[in-house]
Amino acid sequence: MSYIQRISRRKGNYKKKIDFSESRTKRLQMSIQISKDKREQQLMKKRFFHSRKDESSDSDDIDDQEFIDQHLQLLPQYAQAINGNNENDLKLALVKVRKLISVENQPPIKQIVDIGITPRLVQLLKHSEDPKILFEAAWILTNIASGTKEQTKTVVKEGAIPIFVNLLSSSDEDVQEQSIWAIGNIAGDQIKYRDELLNLGTMEKILTILRVTTNEGIIQNSAWAISNLSRGKPKPDFKSVSIALPFLERLINSSNIDTVIDSCWALSYLTNGNDDEIEECVNSGIVPTLISLLRSDNLKLLTPVLRAIGNIVTGTDNQTELVLNYKPLENLCTFLDNPRKAIRKEICWILSNITAGIETQIQQVLDVPNLMEKVINILKNDDLEVKKEAAWTVSNAITGAKSQQIRYIVELDSIEPICNLLTSSNNADIISVCLDALQSILEVGDESPDPENAYAVIIEELGVVPKIEELQKHPNEEIYEKASEIISTYFSQDSDMNFQNEMDMYPDDAQDPDRKFDI
């Protein structure tokens, strides 16, 4: 069978029911959660430790168990003083309770809640004008709100949310900082608390403080509170939180690493949106700094940076191009060797959305030394969850690439791991993207003038054809159609034999060159 005849027959047989552009749609949501649960537990709430800001001059060793036990026994007396009218006794009791609730390990939040002082503490916030009383009461309430949902609820149900918001206007920086910290804890507890805070104009008030303050503690805690006000599902109204973007652009350039980390987490939430929302984030000027932060070896920082960059490249081709203009690919390539599975997985997710772009963006990935080789090695040897993301990267590149690019990827020994994943996976999405990749590879194989499709031969020798035949019975219609098209177009022996028999019926010199056969 001649090359022209083979191409003609296959073009006739191949009914392209599947729109491969749909398979390459950029993936806003992915299965991976890079230390997400652990991060949520650790950073949703924070406690104010005694060492952070302790204005008292006494030398109590408050982490000493004997001290803790002694003062737990005195809690009823402290409660009586806090509920009483003697201001000196009140202040002393507030300091003792604040120290007790600020121990680093297993703070006795429950015992302090159980003595029933929460309503009085909120009342003090509302009515006292003494900065010392306001600060101590706010600190205790902040740490109560760092506990369980029920413990946070004891603070909120007393009406603390609007009071803390009002205290953002305090002229005392310690009170401001403590209120921001409390707001961060409350916002991190429940979506309804977050939304109530946003509806009260909390974000605007925090940003007003950031415009003028040089207090490093306030700046750091503001970044963390902004992060908690921006997180959660359902997402907050974008307009309510995007006003922080100009400030976050400044904060990610801070010399304080904790401020940078929390600001990058905020950006990871804000960039997780539609193209218009991503565009607003990009226009704030965050991309150059995010890319520069890829050079950090701080995993706590790297995690939100990768998430923010990954979210941006889920957007339009122009948004992806902007990221690529700042040359992130070499750094991303390095992270493919990271011992942490979650990091390798995140990098492959980012790359999969870049290779879902235009041919020139695919070429930029291919131009980075060893990058695609590393992705294919992951596809061969890594954990299954990482392999899945690598499969998206390779498949998106193959199905969107030019023939020359596809041949290059095939030369990197990509067919076998694609086939292996196809035969070993029960995940419909992964099966589908593997079929997409094989289909595109086979199409390029048909462009060769050789009598046989060399890529079809490789696939057949790998023993994957029976699996593809079996997939013709798959309950997923898209998989069924893709598998059927591959089999009927490239591996149907009956079709090949019938075609050859028809050709053999006529001597070469008897064939009418204008005759058209229905094949």
CATH code of the domain containing 94? 1.25.10.10
Same domain, 22 and 88: no
Residues 119 and 179 placed together within one structural domain of the fold: yes
Q: Are residues 476 and 443 in the same domain?
A: yes
Same domain as 444, residue 352: yes
Evaluate whether 196 touches 187 at the Cβ level (below 8 Å). Answer: no
Q: Which tokens belong to 34?
A: 């890079």
Q: Which of 187, 217, 236 is the last residue of a domain?
A: 187
Residues 363 and 490 in one domain: yes
Q: Which amino acid belongs to residue 195? A: D
Assign 491 to helix, strand or coil: coil
Considering the domain boundaries, does residue 505 fall inside one?
no
Instruction: Report yes or no on 223 lying in a domain.
Output: no
The answer to whether residue 518 is domain-embedded is: no
Contact 394, 376 (CB under 8 A): yes
Shared domain for 137 and 2, answered yes or no, is no
At 117, list the tokens: 């002082």
> Is there a domain that residue 272 lies in?
no
* 54 is a domain residue: yes
Q: What is the pLDDT along the chain (519 residues), one digit of tens a residue?
A: 444 444 444 444 433 334 544 556 676 655 344 444 444 444 577 765 544 444 444 445 555 787 788 889 999 999 999 999 999 999 999 999 999 999 988 899 999 999 999 999 999 999 999 999 999 999 999 999 999 999 999 999 999 999 999 999 999 999 999 999 999 999 999 999 999 999 999 999 999 999 999 999 999 999 999 999 999 999 999 999 999 999 999 999 999 999 999 999 999 999 999 999 999 999 999 999 999 999 999 999 999 999 999 999 999 999 999 999 999 999 999 999 999 999 999 999 999 999 999 999 999 999 999 999 999 999 999 999 999 999 999 999 999 999 999 999 999 999 999 999 999 999 999 999 999 999 999 999 999 998 899 999 999 999 999 999 999 999 999 999 999 999 999 998 644 444 444 445 444 444 443 433 333
Closest CA to 223 of 200, 204, 251, 246: 251
Residues 109, 1 share a domain: no
Cβ 294 vs Cβ 310: under 8 Å: no
Number of structural domains the chain divides into: 2
Q: End of a domain among 187, 220, 247? A: 187
Q: State the Cα–Cα distance between residues 195 and 186, nearest whole angstrom.
A: 11
What letters, b where the CB count within 10 A reaches 16 and e where it falls short, cover 375-385?
Answer: bbbbbbebeee
- Report pLDDT for 316: 97
Say what the pLDDT of residue 37 is.
44
In a domain, 517, yes or no: no
Residue 510 lies in a domain: no
Distances (CA, A) of 20 to 76, 432, 474: 70, 10, 19
Looking at the structure, tell me whether residues 181 and 55 fall in a common domain.
yes
- Token readout for 236 is 């907050």
Q: Rounded distance, CA 75 to CA 82, Å?
A: 10
Q: What type of residue is 73? A: Q
| 8 Å CB contact between 227 and 269 | yes
2 with 111, same domain: the answer is: no
How many alpha carbons fall within 13 Å on the CB side of residue 231?
A: 28
Q: Are residues 1 and 143 in the same domain?
A: no
Residue 264, domain member (yes or no): no
63 & 163 share domain: yes
Q: What's the CA gap between 446 and 448, in Å, rounded?
A: 5
Residue 292 to residue 457: CA distance in whole angstroms: 46
Based on the domain organization, do 3 and 72 belong to the same domain?
A: no
Domain boundary among 147, 163, 187: 187
Domain that residue 440 falls in: 1-7+15-26+342-496
10, two tokens:
């296959």
CB burial class (10 A; 0-12, 13-18, 19+) of residue 482?
Answer: buried
